[in-house]
Chains A and B, each alone.
Chain A
C-alpha cells in the first residue's frame, strides 16, 4: 500500500501533464484530446528524466552502463530502414506507423543515456575490432557533449517525421526509408570515436538527405540537391585525405596502424602538415555548419526541402559540423585550431552573425529568412567554440541544442502555412493573427526564443557565448570587440525576426486568400507542444543541461589548452617531425587502441594465417 501511494505521488506530474494536454485546448474530438494528453505525458517524462536523481548521486557505485545501448540507438533506425525496403509500398499507413514506432523506441532508449551522471570521460563505450588489419575498429561512446546532440536528434527526428507524414502523402516508402537511415547515420556520426567509422556515417547521411530534398523539394530542387551533395562531399574528401595522412604518420611514429580518435589525438604532426590537415578537417566541418563564405548551399537546401527535411537539416545535420569541430578539430589539432581561432572568430562574427543577419532581413521568403538566421545562429555557436573558454564552449553546445529546438520549431511553423497556402512569401501574408491566433502565439513565442529573449532558451546560450568571448584568451585583445559585435548581432536578430513577424501576423488582413485559413490542427499542435515546452525548460533551467556537460566541457577546454602547449613545445624543438605524445591516463583513454604486436606473440602475416587455414 505504501509503495502504491508513493508511486501515485511520483506519478502526479505525469497525470497533471496528461490532464493539461487533454483538458485545456479547445478540441472537439476525444481522440484529439487523448493524443494531446499523451504528448503532454511524454514531455513530462522527458523533462523529469533530465532532473538529476538524488538516489543516483548518493549511490557509491555509478549506475550500470549497458554497453550495447549505443548500438541499439544507432542501429535500430538503420535496421528499420532496411526493413522498410521490404515492406509493401501500397500500405503507407503501415510504413508510417513502423517508422514512428522505431523513432519513438529510439527516443525512449536514448533517455536511458540521461540516467548516468556524465562525468568526464566516455560513457556507454563499446569497442569491437572491425578490420584489424587496417586498424579500423567499431568504437562508439558518448560524453557530456555528444549526449545532448544524440538526444536532440532522437527528440526532433520523430517530430519532424510526424510533421512530414501530415504534409507528404506520396512516395511514403522513400520518405520512411530516408528518415530512418538519415537518423541512424546522424546518431552514428555523433557517437563514433573511430575516424573511419565517423567518415562512414558522415557520408552515409548524404544520400538520404539528398533524397529528402530531391523528391519532395520545390521548383529548384535538383539544383539544391546537387549543391548540398557536392558542397558536403568536397569537404569530406579533403577530410578523408587528411585522415589517411594522419593514419599513415601515426603508423610511422607508433609502429601500428589505427584510425582511432584517441590515438590520433595524441599525434603531433609536422608543422605544415598539421596546418594543412587542420584546414582539411575544418573545411569539411565549416561547410557543414555552414560558415561564410561556404554557406550558400544552405538557403537553397532549406527552401527546397520539405518541412521534415528542413527540420532535420536545421536541427541536427548542421550540428554535426559544430560538434565535429569540437571533437575532431579542437581535439586533434589544438595547436592550429588555437592559432586560427581568432581569425575564424572574426569570420564567424562578420560573415555569420552580422552578414547573415542582414541578408536574412532582406529575404522575402520566410524559409530563406530562417535559413539565413540559421547561419547567424551557428555563427554564435562557432564563436563560442573558437573562444576556447569553458563558458564559450558550454554556451556553444547549449546554443546547438537551442538552435535545434527553435529553428526546428520555426520550420515546422512555416510548413504549417505552406501547407495551407503553398507559398512562403512574406508579402502574401499579413494580419494572420486574426484568423490563426494559436498559430500566431506559437510563432511569436518561438520567435522570442530565436531572438534570445530572457526566459527562453536562446538567451542563455547567446549570453554565455558573448561572455566567453569577452573573457577568452584565445581571441586575445580582439575578444572584447568581437563580444560586442556579437551582442550587436543579437539586436539584428530581433530586427529581422520581428519585422517578419510584424509583416506576416499583424497589420491589416489584406490578402483575401488568407481569410479562411484554419488554425493549427492536432498533428501540428502535437508536434509543436514538446518543442515549446523545451523552449522554457531550457530557458528557465539551463543548469539541467549545463550540469551534465560541465565536466566534459571543462575537460575539452583543458585538453585544448594542454595540447596547444604541447604542440608549441613540439614545434619549438623540431617542427618537421611527427611526435606521438604519451597517452592520457584516466577515464578518457579507456578504449585506447593497443599495439597489436605488443599484445600477441609474433604477428602472423595474412598469408600465413590463411595458409594455416587451408592446410587444415
Chain B
C-alpha cells in the first residue's frame, strides 16, 4: 500500500503548491514604497517574486524529475497504481506528459520570477496558481475517467483564468481573461454534455469501459446506442479542439495570449496545450479506438486531418500578417497544434509511432516555445517591453546574447536542424508517412515554409534592420531567473536536436511496452 512513490509526481506538485502558499502567506511583503505607494500591497507575497518563483520552479522541476524516476521504475512494477484506476491511469504516457507539463510549468515560474517584478505586477499568487494549474494538467493527462478528466480540466482552467487576469488594472487583461472564461465554459459545457450522452449510451464514465462498450456495438446482444456514442464523440471532440485551439475553435487564443502577462501566456502555450493533447490522445484512443471509429470513412481521423490542415494553414497565414511578436507567437502556437494533430491522425494506422511522435513533439514544442516567450521577455524591460517587430529592430547589434537566444528558439520553432523543433517535426511527419497520410505530410511540410517566413521576420528585424530614429526601443531586462530559464531551454533545444535518442526511446517505450 505504498502509494507515496508511484504518485510522487502528483504529490510533489500538489503538496508543493500548499507549501508555497504557506510560505507566501507567512512571509513579509517587500515593496519599495517610494516607487509604488502603499496601495499596491495587496497580498503577503507582494515583492517576493524572486524567492517564490525559485521555489515554484524547484517544486516543478522536482515533479519533472520524479516523473522520470517513476517512468524508469515502470508502472508495471508498481502494482499499487492499479488502485487508482480507472480514475487516474499513471501509465508511462501519463508520466511522460507529466514530465513535459512540469517542465513547462517550471519555465513559466522561472520566467515569472523575472517578469513580474520588472513589470510592476509583483504579486505572489501567481506561483501557487501556476503550480496548481500544473497539478490540474497532470491529473488531466493521467485521467482515465470522464469525471476525473473534468476535475483536472477545471483545476487547470480556473488557475489559468486567474493567471491571465493577473494584471488587474489592465482592461486588456480583464478582457482576455473574460473571453477565455466564457468560451472555456462553453467548451466545458459541450464536453460535459458529451460525457453525459456517453454515459447514457454505455453506462460507463471510465474511458476503458466506454471503449469496451463501443467495441460491443454490432455484437449480438449489445444494447449500446451507436447514435448516442457518435453524438458524444462529436461534442467531446469540439470541447477538446477548443482546448488545443484548433481552427475554428481557436479564436480566443490570440486575444487571451496577448492580454495575459507573458509568463502566463507561456504556461498556456506549453502546459495547457500539452495537457489538452494528452487527454485528447487518451480519450480518442481508449474510448474511441474502435476500428469503426478510426477509419477514413466515418471516424475521427478524417475530422482531425481536416482540422489539422485548417489549423496549420489558417494560423500560419494569419501569423504572417501580425505586427506584434507576441500575437505572432500565439498564432504560431495554434499552427503547432495543427502539426500535433497530424501526429494524432497518424495513430490511425501506426498507433505506437503516432503517439510517440505526438509526445516527443510536445516535448520539443514545450522547450522551444517556452524559450521563445522567455527570449521575448528578456528582450523587454519596464516601459520598454518588446511587443512589435519594430521594437526588436537592431537588437542583434545592441544585445547579441538576447538576440542569439531568440534566434535559436525561433529556428527550433521553424523546424530548422539541428534543433529540437526539427526532430519533433521529422518524427511527426515520419509517423504520418508510416500511416500513409502522404498528402497530409506534404501539406504539413509546406506549412512549415509559411511558418518559416514569420519566424524569419523576427530574425530579420533583430539582425538586419536598424531601428527607425526616435522609435521606441526594447531594452533587455536583467534577470538571473529568466536567463537561467533560457539557458536550460537552449541547452534542451540543442540537445534534443543533436542527440534525441533517450527521450525518443522514452516516448516510444511509453507506447510500445
A and B touching (C-beta < 8 Å)? yes
The chain A residues found within 8 Å of chain B, CB to CB, are 85, 89, 131-134, 171, 173-174, 199-200, 203-204, 206-207, 210-211, 214-215, 217, 221-222, 225-226, 229-230, 233-234, 237-238, 240-241, 244-245, 247-248, 251, 605-607, 609-611, 613-614
* CB closest residue in chain B, given A244: B433
Interfacial chain A residues near B501, Cβ < 8 Å: 131-133
Residue from B441, B448, B460 in contact with A225 in the complex, judged by beta carbons closer than 8 Å: B460
Interfacial chain B residues near A607, Cβ < 8 Å: 74, 92, 509-510, 512-513
Interfacial chain B residues near A248, Cβ < 8 Å: 430, 433-434
* CB closest residue in chain A, given B508: A606
Q: Which 9 A-B pairs have the closest CB atoms?
A: A607-B509, A614-B72, A606-B505, A214-B464, A200-B417, A606-B509, A237-B445, A248-B433, A244-B433
What are the interface flags for B472-513 relative to A under an 8 Å C-beta threshold, 1 for contact and 0 otherwise?
Answer: 000000000000000000000000000111001110111011
Interface stretch (choices B117-125, B335-343, B449-457) = B449-457
- A131 close to B504 (CB less than 8 A): yes
Whether, in the assembled complex, B208 has its beta carbon less than 8 Å from a beta carbon of chain A, the answer is no
Interfacial chain A residues near B433, Cβ < 8 Å: 241, 244-245, 247-248
Chain B contact residues: helix, strand, loop or mixed: helix
Interfacial chain A residues near B429, Cβ < 8 Å: 240-241, 244
- A214 close to B460 (CB less than 8 A): yes
* CB closest residue in chain B, given A206: B416
- B445 close to A238 (CB less than 8 A): yes
What are the interface flags for B391-419 relative to A under an 8 Å C-beta threshold, 1 for contact and 0 otherwise?
Answer: 00000110010001000000100001110
- A203 close to B463 (CB less than 8 A): no
With A and B bound together, what is the CA distance between A214 and B422 in angstroms? 23
Residue from B426, B438, B449 in contact with A233 in the complex, judged by beta carbons closer than 8 Å: B449
Interfacial chain B residues near A173, Cβ < 8 Å: 400
Whether, in the assembled complex, B73 has its beta carbon less than 8 Å from a beta carbon of chain A, the answer is yes
- A241 close to B463 (CB less than 8 A): no
Contacts A131-B500, A203-B416, A230-B449; A241 near B441 (Cβ below 8 A): yes
Please count how many residues in chain B sit with their CB below 8 Å of the partner chain's CB atoms. Answer: 44
With A and B bound together, what is the CA distance between A265 and B72 in angstroms? 39
Contacts A226-B456, A244-B433, A614-B73; A133 near B505 (Cβ below 8 A): yes
* Distance from B196 Cβ to chain A, minimum over Cβ atoms (Å): 37
Residue from B73, B452, B500, B505 in contact with A229 in the complex, judged by beta carbons closer than 8 Å: B452
B453, B464, B506: most-surrounded residue (chain A CB, <10 A): B464
Whether, in the assembled complex, B22 has its beta carbon less than 8 Å from a beta carbon of chain A, the answer is no
* Distance from A575 Cβ to chain B, minimum over Cβ atoms (Å): 17
- B430 close to A233 (CB less than 8 A): no
Interfacial chain A residues near B411, Cβ < 8 Å: 207
Given A225-B460, A238-B445, A245-B433, 7 extra CB contacts under 8 A: A133-B504, A203-B416, A230-B456, A241-B438, A244-B433, A606-B505, A613-B72
Interfacial chain B residues near A241, Cβ < 8 Å: 429, 433, 438, 441-442, 445
- A134 close to B464 (CB less than 8 A): no
- B400 close to A89 (CB less than 8 A): yes
Interfacial chain B residues near A132, Cβ < 8 Å: 501
With A and B bound together, what is the CA distance between A226 and B461 in angstroms? 12
* Distance from A329 Cβ to chain B, minimum over Cβ atoms (Å): 19
* CB closest residue in chain A, given B427: A134
Contacts A222-B464, A245-B433, A611-B74; A230 near B504 (Cβ below 8 A): no
* Distance from A499 Cβ to chain B, minimum over Cβ atoms (Å): 35
Q: Can you spell out 24 A-B residue pairs with CB atoms less than 8 angstroms apart?
A: A85-B404, A133-B501, A133-B505, A174-B396, A200-B417, A200-B418, A203-B417, A204-B418, A210-B456, A214-B463, A221-B464, A222-B465, A230-B453, A238-B442, A240-B445, A241-B429, A244-B430, A248-B430, A248-B433, A248-B434, A605-B509, A605-B512, A606-B512, A607-B513
Interfacial chain B residues near A606, Cβ < 8 Å: 505-506, 508-509, 512
* Distance from A130 Cβ to chain B, minimum over Cβ atoms (Å): 8
* Distance from B281 Cβ to chain A, minimum over Cβ atoms (Å): 18
Interfacial chain B residues near A245, Cβ < 8 Å: 433, 438
- A134 close to B442 (CB less than 8 A): no
Interfacial chain A residues near B456, Cβ < 8 Å: 210, 226, 229-230
**Which residues of B418-439 are within 8 A (CB) of A?**
418, 422, 426, 429-430, 433-434, 438
- B500 close to A610 (CB less than 8 A): no
Interfacial chain A residues near B512, Cβ < 8 Å: 605-607
Interfacial chain A residues near B438, Cβ < 8 Å: 241, 245
A225, A238, A241: most-surrounded residue (chain B CB, <10 A): A241
**Which residues of B138-157 are within 8 A (CB) of A?**
none
- B464 close to A225 (CB less than 8 A): yes
- B397 close to A171 (CB less than 8 A): yes
* CB closest residue in chain A, given B436: A248
* Distance from B64 Cβ to chain A, minimum over Cβ atoms (Å): 17
With A and B bound together, what is the CA distance between A100 and B275 in angstroms? 51
A199, A607, A609: most-surrounded residue (chain B CB, <10 A): A607
* CB closest residue in chain A, given B448: A237
* Distance from A468 Cβ to chain B, minimum over Cβ atoms (Å): 35
